[in-house]
C-alpha cells in the first residue's frame, strides 16, 4: 500500500521513476518554459512570484487527458481557479491565471507526470464513474538582488482543499530556503517553528530535477518556506510544477 495512503504524504524521484528515452529533452523544454515564459502573478505583485495555470480532466476508463478551454481577455488566455476557504490569503476568491501554452500542454513528460500522480491517488469506486479534475500550476519564485525574498502562497502550514496535491521540482538554482514541512492537519495556519514536538512529520528540501512529493489533503498540512538569493552574485530560481486532483462533482458539506 502506498505511503500516500498510509501516512498522508510520499516522496518521489520522477527523473528516475519515469525514465524513458528522450526524457532529458522534454525536461529541458519544461525548464526553459519556466525560465522564460511565466508572467508575474497578478495576485502577488512585487512578491517575485511568476505563474501559469491550466485545467484538465483525466478520464478514468480511457486514461485520456482532456484539456479544458480557457477564458479569453484582451487577446490573452486565462484559466479560472477557485480554492474556496482553504487559502487564508484568498478565501472564497476566484482567480484567473495566465494559461499554459498549448505546445507545452502536449509535452510528453508533463503528460506522464500527470498520469503518474493520478495513479498514486485513491478514490471510492463510485467516484471513478466521472472524470477527475486536474489543476496544473507552473510556479516560479525568482530573487534577483541580495535582499530579495520570494514567498509561496499561503505562507503557513495549510491544506489546499483539493483531495491530492503533488509538487515537482523543475529547477532550483542559487537560493537559500525553500524548505518543505509536512505536519498534522491541526497545525494549519501556523509556521513550522511555532509547532510542538510531534506535530511535524518531516522537514526536507527537494533539490534535484523532478524530485517530488505528494500529499493527501485531509491527512496532513504542508508548507514551503520563502527563498532568498544564494551566495553567487546572480539571480536565484525555484521553479515548481504543482498538480492537484479533485472530483468533478463536489457536494457542499455543512460546517
250 has pLDDT over 70: no
pLDDT digits 0-9 by tens, 223-242:
999 999 999 999 999 999 99
Cα(132)–Cα(112) distance, rounded to whole angstroms? 16
pLDDT digits 0-9 by tens, 6-36:
999 999 999 999 999 999 999 999 999 999 9
Q: How many domains does the chain have?
A: 1
Residue 254 lies in a domain: no
pLDDT digits 0-9 by tens, 111-152:
999 999 999 999 999 888 999 999 999 999 999 999 999 998
Residue 70 lies in a domain: yes
For residue 125, count other CB atoms closer than 10 A to its CB: 6
pLDDT digits 0-9 by tens, 192-227:
999 999 999 999 999 999 999 999 999 999 999 999
Residue 55 lies in a domain: yes
Question: Domain residues for 206?
Answer: 3-247
Query: For residue 164, what is the enclosing H or E element?
Result: strand 164-173
Helix/strand/coil (H/E/C) assignment for every residue in 113-148: HHHHHHHHCCCCHHHHHCCEEEEEEEEEEEECCCCC
CATH of residue 71: 2.60.120.620
Cα(198)–Cα(86) distance, rounded to whole angstroms? 24
Strands of the sheet containing 180-183, edge to edge, are 200-204, 180-183, 221-224
The b/e string for 76-111 (b: 16+ C-beta within 10 A; e otherwise) is: ebbbebebeebbeebeeeebbbbbbeeebbebebbe
Residue 252 lies in a domain: no
Whether residue 111 contacts residue 26, with contact meaning beta carbons closer than 8 Å, is answered with no
pLDDT digits 0-9 by tens, 77-97:
999 986 544 444 444 467 899
251 has pLDDT over 90: no
Amino acid at each position: 500500500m502506498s505511503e500516500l495512503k498510509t501516512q498522508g504524504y510520499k516522496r518521489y524521484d520522477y527523473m528516475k521513476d519515469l525514465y524513458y528515452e528522450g526524457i532529458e529533452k522534454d525536461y529541458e523544454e519544461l525548464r526553459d518554459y519556466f525560465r522564460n515564459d511565466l508572467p508575474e502573478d497578478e495576485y502577488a505583485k512585487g512578491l517575485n512570484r511568476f505563474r501559469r495555470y491550466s485545467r484538465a480532466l483525466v478520464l478514468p476508463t480511457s486514461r485520456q487527458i482532456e484539456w479544458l478551454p480557457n477564458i479569453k481577455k484582451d487577446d490573452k488566455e486565462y484559466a479560472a481557479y477557485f480554492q474556496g476557504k482553504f487559502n487564508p490569503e484568498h478565501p472564497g476568491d476566484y482567480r484567473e491565471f495566465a494559461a499554459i501554452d498549448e505546445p507545452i500542454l502536449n509535452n510528453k513528460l508533463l503528460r506522464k507526470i500527470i498520469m503518474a500522480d493520478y495513479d498514486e491517488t485513491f478514490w471510492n469506486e463510485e467516484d471513478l464513474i466521472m472524470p477527475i479534475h486536474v489543476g496544473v500550476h507552473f510556479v516560479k519564485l525568482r530573487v534577483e538582488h541580495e535582499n530579495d525574498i520570494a514567498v509561496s502562497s499561503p505562507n503557513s502550514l495549510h491544506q489546499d482543499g483539493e483531495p491530492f496535491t503533488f509538487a515537482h521540482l523543475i529547477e532550483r538554482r542559487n537560493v537559500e530556503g525553500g524548505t518543505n514541512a509536512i505536519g498534522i492537519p491541526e497545525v494549519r495556519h501556523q509556521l513550522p517553528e511555532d509547532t510542538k514536538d510531534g506535530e511535524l512529520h518531516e522537514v526536507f528540501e527537494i533539490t534535484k530535477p523532478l524530485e517530488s512529493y505528494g500529499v493527501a489533503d485531509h491527512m496532513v498540512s504542508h508548507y514551503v518556506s520563502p527563498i532568498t538569493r544564494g551566495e553567487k552574485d546572480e539571480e536565484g530560481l525555484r521553479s515548481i510544477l504543482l498538480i492537484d486532483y479533485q472530483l468533478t462533482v463536489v457536494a457542499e458539506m455543512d460546517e
